[in-house]
Amino acid sequence: MMSFDLNFASLGLPETLTRALADAGYENATEVQARAIPPALAGRDLMVASSTGSGKTASFVIPALVRVLAARAAEATQRRDRSVVYGPRVLVLAPTRELALQVAKAATVYGRHVPGLRVATVLGGVPYPLQIKALRGPLDILIATPGRLLDHLQTGKAVLGNVEILVLDEADRMLDMGFIDDIQTIAEHTPKARQTLMYSATFAGHVGRLAQQLLRDAQKVDVSSHTDTHANIEQRLHWADNGTHKNALLDHILTLRDMEQALVFTSTQRDADSLADRLAEMGHSVAALHGAMPQGRRTRTLTALRRGELRVLVATDVAARGIDVRTISHVINYGLPMKPEDYVHRIGRTGRAGKNGLAVTLAERRDGGMIRRIQQFTTQHIPVATIAGLEPKSPEPRLVAARPENRFGGRPGAPGKSFGKPFAGRGGERFKPRGDERFAPRGGEGFAPRDRAPFQHAHRDAAPRTSFDRSAAEPRGNAFAPRKPSAPGAKPGGFKTQRARPGGYSR
């Protein structure tokens, strides 16, 4: 049995990297790092099932930097060869801008002692000229969102013929957002002899089929922890009678003395804006974060959160991917996630760096189906709690126990710990279990699952398109169309007018 309390030096890493890791305060490798780095250094393709907070970013950034150092050494011994290698040696695809920026930061920190390290990002919501300038010369590591990279690829600005390592980070999320065709096209422009590392919460369904297309003799590394108990994260479930009652519960939680910073999740962009407006009027230092916001504004919001200028951040799932702020003490599920996997990602935003955290879910009776599926997926029961004076008047919903096997092929919970049953939609056999529901035929409200509000699709949080930004557009079949403004006072492109916030912070 391999021990996962390993020193990075024992993994055979170059002194340049171990020194940078020590400077950053990292000495021992996590489980995913100890299991993924050695085969990655050996050149193996990997299928890594890991969850948020497991240290997966370092598990592919470190092998990438080792490849860069090897290229540096080869260049030093072959100075007579003056040919310039254009394009990146390592290409990392990420679903969101925040996650891509987090990977870029990790590459810069871990590679701080790599001479002349060249790292660039290609993201939606960022002006094209800066990205084109970065793509013109040789690159070591390029981190990109699929849609924007495909734009540069189609115009000939991006050269991927020299990619040695292709990394797909959170592949399941990229497929949720409709990027499967973009990923396949990008992969076709990279060498067939490349090494491919694929990270995902699950490799079932379309994710597994994509892995079969892109990977060769891949080694599987399973460190997914959706059934972990999260010992340092306390979970609570509050049943609300209606929206008014739910708001009262939220207001009470946000006034608790032990709340340092709170991350409040909503289901839609509109809910995030309206809830942030209401909390701001109550005097909270709050801001919204979602895919419809320009990248500059999103960056300023996250900076304010890290500096402690914000006490409450109201966000959607897509925008919150990659947030790593150690002072977040509370995660509040004001709107339930679209998939049970997203619940695990949400609560993982708190309790980081060994600190304790609290994850609170506010649910109405209509949310019973999703609560059941979350408990089945995590194989854990979320304890029901009440607040004195705010007890629900309606009886607690009855959550039906799950069958031991899912005939649709979904992942059943552990025996005796399941809380759900196979998905049953309005179309009988033509519907798939919720894990692959995003691939069911689209048909508007009539095709929505019974226990979920209509029009809450997995791509709901996609950002509006600017110029020809496919990575920030909402997928509709094979076409991409910008989101039209729907709220009063909205600017063209769907961005809301900024309004002054109490406490001097403008959202």
In 78-127, alpha helices (H): 97-110
pLDDT at 31 over 90: no
pTM: 0.63
The runs of H, that is alpha helices, within 307-447 are 317-320, 340-347, 368-378
**Is 233-447 the same fold as 6-222?**
yes
In this structure, of 50-64, 242-256, 421-435, the range with the lowest mean pLDDT score is 421-435
pLDDT for 64: 96
- What is the per-residue pLDDT across 385-402, written as a single tens digit (0 to 9) for each? 999 999 999 888 887 654
Question: Which residues fall within 8 angstroms of residue 208, CB to CB, at 6 or more apart?
Answer: none
- Helix or strand (DSSP H, E) at 246: helix 243-254
- Comparing CA positions, the residue from 7, 118, 106 lying closest to residue 62 is 106
Domain limits of the chain?
6-222, 233-447
pLDDT band at 326 (very low <50, low <70, confident <90, very high): confident
Query: Which string of DSSP letters, residue by residue, matches 170-230?
Result: THHHHHHTT-HHHHHHHHHTS-TT-EEEEEES---THHHHHHHHH-SSPEEEE---TT---
| Domain at 6-222: CATH architecture | 3-Layer(aba) Sandwich (3.40)
Instruction: Please list, in sequence order, all residues whose beta carbon lies within 8 angstroms of the beta carbon of residue 144, skipping any fewer than 6 positions away.
Output: 91, 92, 93, 94, 100, 121, 122, 123
Give the dihedral of Cα atoms 187, 189, 192, 198; nearest 10 deg: -20
How far is 3 from 42, CA to CA, in rounded Å?
A: 20
Give the pLDDT band of residue 181 (cuts 50, 70, 90).
very high
Higher pLDDT, 122 or 379: 122
Quote the CA–CA distance of 93 and 97 in Å, as a whole number: 10
- CA-to-CA distance for 235 and 56, rounded, in angstroms? 24
pLDDT class of 329 with cuts at 50, 70, 90: very high
CATH class of the domain defined by 233-447: alpha beta
